[in-house]
Amino acid sequence: MYFGFVWGFGDSIIVKWQTQNILHAKKQSIAKYCNQKDLRYFISHKNNQLKHMTDNQGSRHIFYYCGEYGSKSIGIRGKINMNGINILFPKYKIDKIYVN
């Protein structure tokens, strides 16, 4: 039962933590994940926290989460590595963060 809870909800916690770290980093680091318009929004709302994250809306090796950052909804997209030992503990790599 506990394993199922971690398996189902642990991934969103990992992605939320990674996203928070990216959005609170320096401008150059944030720019790797978004366009200029979204970058301006993220910089101007740097003190906000990511809230109301959805569960994974992607499939298989791709993940997609939505959440609220400041007054807007944002999307978080990336890839999941589930090869070898990673089948038990998948690795999540964020590719893009954008304002919806």
pLDDT average, residue stretch 31-48? 94
Q: What is the pLDDT of residues 43-97, one digit of tens each?
A: 999 889 999 988 878 777 899 999 999 999 999 999 988 776 656 666 889 999 9
46 vs 1, more confident: 46
Number of domains in the chain: 1
Q: Pick from 72, 30, 27, 80: which is nearest to 51 by CA?
A: 72
Which residue range forms the structural domain that includes residue 79? 2-99
pTM for the whole thing?
0.79
First-to-last C-alpha distance (Å) of the chain: 35
Residue 37 pLDDT grade (very low, low, confident, very high; cuts 50, 70, 90): very high
Alpha-carbon gap, residue 17 to 63, rounded angstroms: 15
